[in-house]
Amino acid sequence: MLLDGVNHIAWISKDAARLGRFYADVFDADVGPTRTHGDDGKETMTIIRIGPHTELNIFVIEGNTEPERQTPM
């Protein structure tokens, strides 16, 4: 595993499945299921475990354009 000493890091993505495959293939990370998050049903969260006590919380939010302004992975 990659990291120890950090509990979690959260960020917004437009493609959690692709990001999960990258971390699984390159870093042997454990990718959890994608689940609905929030009250309005327009948000999902996928947990990617990158260390014994460390995870990435990847959010996809319908209608959010922030990921489109970022440099793609």
Q: In this predicted structure, what is the pLDDT of residue 6? A: 84
**Whole-model pTM?**
0.83
Specify the 3-state DSSP secondary structure of 23. Answer: helix
Q: What is the pLDDT of the chain when averaged over all its residues?
A: 90
Q: How far apart are CA 11 and CA 48, in angstroms?
A: 12
- What proportions of the chain, in percent to the nearest 5, are helix, strand and coil? 20, 40, 35
Instruction: State percent of the chain over pLDDT 70.
Output: 92
Q: What fold is seen in the domain 8-63?
A: 2,3-Dihydroxybiphenyl 1,2-Dioxygenase; domain 1 (3.10.180)
Q: In this predicted structure, what is the pLDDT of residue 3? A: 60
Task: Please state the domain extents for the chain.
Answer: 8-63
